[in-house]
A = this chain, B = another copy of it.
Amino acid sequence: MLPKRTLMGPGPSDVYPQVLAAMARPTIGHLDPAFIGFMDGLNELLRYALKTSNSVTLPISAPGSAGMECCLVNLLEPGEEIVIASNGVFAGRMVEIARRCGAVPVCVEFEWGTPVDPDKVEEVLKAHPDAVALAFVHSETSTGVRSDAAALCQLAQNYNCLSIVDAVTSLGGIELRVDDWGIDVIYSGTQKCLSAPPGLSPVSFNEAAMAKVAKRKTPPQSWFLDMNLLTGYWGGGAKRAYHHTAPINSLYALDEALRILKDEGIENSWQRHASNHRKLRTGIEDMGLEFCVEPDYRLPQLNAIKVPEGTDEAAVRSFLLNEYNLEIGAGLGPLAGKIWRIGLMGASSTEKHVDLCLEALQAALSDQ
């Protein structure tokens, strides 16, 4: 049997017991008429969480990276330009996927640990008037940075581009308003601030995005992720068409996690994440440690902390894991060895989690 951990890394976060229990409900057939109501209800909960009225709002049957790929393969056709603002691992992944779509990614690079600068993006949009989309990561999980999604989506609109937003770590943890901000396409994950197990990726496409999909000259290169086929199953009501076998039990879990979010109220969830971040910050700074990201751009749910000079960062993580059954994350790419990533996401965003983490970190640093 695997050990029971407290999950305070970059995700998965701790899963609510009710969500695990939901996952173990008896499996039902993916075409069962009783399942239609469930699907409709789940999509409505997703619309609540995303603050959107987009009819095309549904969970992709695979993790967040597949959600990213879904958005790009549906929106991009070979030869089309897409501007991608890159300030971490996940925008880099978008560039790679866009290239595999035969599209032409125009990458705007920002230093890791800093947000996307809308002014720089605007320059690039000006220089690439044929670009069809602007993509960026709202909450960059690899660095703990929040970028200004509302401003970037407004820019996209000004330059006649569709906006594609990575909200994998945002959803449930910080303010996110699909309709108000004019987000055209968004994808997220289940294992961050929703606190369901990993495995699904909620996505939402607005009418402008679906119009672009509808007028494609070629079908999307992925059959599994083809939004026209997916909406035939998810949006078909009683007449829905079989596409693939939906991951029923994972959908139960997501549904339960979204109910918990709705019961709390999404604004309350945002506030809880902010408040536990403040508590962690105080403790971290009292310990003489520093944050990697400037205060204005810090994600409350993903805290990048500088590893002090002379500290063996991997040894600290091992100590936490072995002595406290506590997982925190390492740095990636240029930040490997330089930061720890402490997640306060969903069920892991509580005062108790903060206290445990501070205590464990204190013990680990004393042990060095």
Contact = CB atoms under 8 A, between A and B. Distances in A.
Interface stretch (A144-152, A191-199, A286-294): A191-199
Contact of A38 (B2, B26, B31, B248): B2
A24 B26 contact: no
Given A222-B69, A224-B69, A244-B65, A27 B9 contact: no
B29 A223 contact: no
Contacts of A248: 12, 197-199
Contacts of A5: 26, 28-29, 32
B221 A101 contact: yes
Nearest to A191: B245
Nearest to A252: B2
Nearest to A328: B29
B65 A35 contact: no
Contacts of A9: 29, 31
A66 interface: yes
Interface string A209-242: 0000000000111111000000000000000001
A266 to B, nearest CB: 22
Contacts of A244: 63-66
Nearest to A223: B97
Contact of A28 (B2, B23, B38, B66): B2
Contact of A26 (B20, B26, B31, B65): B20
Contacts of A31: 9
B21 A24 contact: yes
A73 to B, nearest CB: 8
A34 B69 contact: no
A275 interface: no
Contacts of A105: none
B26 A4 contact: yes
A247 interface: yes
Interface string A99-139: 01100000000000000000000000000000000000000
Interface in A1-56: 1-5, 7, 9, 11-12, 14-15, 20-21, 23-35, 38
10 contacts: A2-B34, A4-B26, A9-B31, A23-B23, A24-B24, A61-B66, A62-B62, A93-B223, A101-B221, A249-B253
